[in-house]
Structure 1
Amino acid sequence: MHPPTFWLTGLSGAGKSTIAQALKVRLGEAQRACVVLDGDHLRSGLCADLGFSPQDRAENIRRVAHVCRLFNDNGLIVIVALISPYAKDRALAREIIGTEHFLEVHIATSLQTCESRDPKGLYRKARAGLLKEFTGISAPYEAPANPACALDTVALSLDQCVSQLHALLETAANPAR
């Protein structure tokens, strides 16, 4: 089986990174080789030269998708945690990674909930006009039309989210089941 890429998309504060790390632990316990690519970490290295304009966001996604493809081709499951707000950019990632290996997961947490969490104070800054092109406030977020899975982190516990993703992996690995 060619390993897949779980592409976790959603607003800032939705729970993407938390779910990605918990899924990594679960897969490790199952002896499944995987890696997490988190947007915050990528922005401090591989994509440090990019801003948040639509063009820079597209380039960020393109770079990350190529890294995913390299990891997948070398036998690793990849778990991506990126806001990736534009459908066209996620479509490009799907094309680069390969449709059959791309599992788009919408972390479907409401803007109201993400703002109430605001772990980095970014929503407060965006509402005050201090952050330009902030997804959900001054820049759009295009929710996936047909994700492989949608997870509401208010309705589901972290364990339930991870269990659903683990089940998705098993279904993707054995589509006849």
Structure 2
Amino acid sequence: MATNITWHANLSYDERKDLRKQHGCTVWLTGLSASGKSTVACALEQLLLQKGLSAYRLDGDNIRFGLNKDLGFSEADRNENIRRISEVSKLFADSCTISITSFISPYKADRNRARQLHKEAGLKFIEVFVDVPLEVAEQRDPKGLYKKAREGVIKEFTGISAPYEAPENAELHLRTDLKSVEECASIIYEYLRTEKVI
């Protein structure tokens, strides 16, 4: 761990908020592969941008092309993946941007650490459980990952050979097999309004 470092402060969060006329927060979408996290995140980002708000989506696959391309899918690597995203999403939220993350993030402890990190910084963290029954996720299987996991080609696949610890107290619980993508994005948008984030 680096020791010869100093935090260089500039504008406070409140000063940025007043200048940008917007609060920052993190909307953390978690759920099984093929639950609809990325699709809902894309729709929410578009909706917020169309409303003139600053928003940015951090997607599980996209991040692994750059920032986290050195990480695999072992439990330790998944933990580090989520640790890094927690820090990045906190930076976006601190800049008064609505950070939208869509990561399986299967472990409660990792999601709780992300929440605590935001809490310590005085930033809002909104956990959204994007939920579908496993059989629905397997039927969707757009990348063929469940099939490969069932065949043993992919080891440690969440929901099949690796655990998914569902949120118990998420701010929002969305069933994407029962609601459309647009309805799910609208529910999150209205929640942000209710919480006076926007």
Aligned AA for 1:150? H
| Other-structure match for 1:103 | 126
Q: Does 1:12 align with 2:33?
A: yes
Percent of aligned pairs with the same residue? Answer: 49
Tell me by how many angstroms 1:13 deviates. 0.3
Tell me by how many angstroms 1:170 deviates. 0.8
For the pair shown, which has the larger CA radius of gyration, 1 or 2?
2
CA distance in 2: counterparts of 1:43 and 1:110, whole angstroms: 26
| Other-structure match for 2:157 | 134
Q: How does 1:5-154 map to 2 (within 5 A)?
A: 5-98=26-119, 100-154=123-177
**C-alpha contact 1:65 1:93 (8 A) present in aligned 2:** yes
| Other-structure match for 2:196 | 173
CA distance in 2: counterparts of 1:140 and 1:170, whole angstroms: 34
| Other-structure match for 1:159 | 182
CA distance in 2: counterparts of 1:72 and 1:4, whole angstroms: 5
TM-score normalised to structure 1 length = 0.95
**C-alpha contact 1:47 1:60 (8 A) present in aligned 2:** yes
Tell me by how many angstroms 1:123 deviates. 0.4
Structure 2 residue runs of 5 or longer lacking an equivalent are 1-21
Aligned AA for 2:148? K
Tell me by how many angstroms 1:98 deviates. 2.3
Give the number of aligned pairs: 174
TM-score normalised to structure 2 length = 0.85
Aligned AA for 1:170? R
CA distance in 2: counterparts of 1:44 and 1:98, whole angstroms: 29
Q: Deviations over 1:95-130 (max 9, x none)?
A: 122275110000011110000000000000000000
Partner SS, residue 195 of structure 2: helix
Partner SS, residue 191 of structure 2: helix
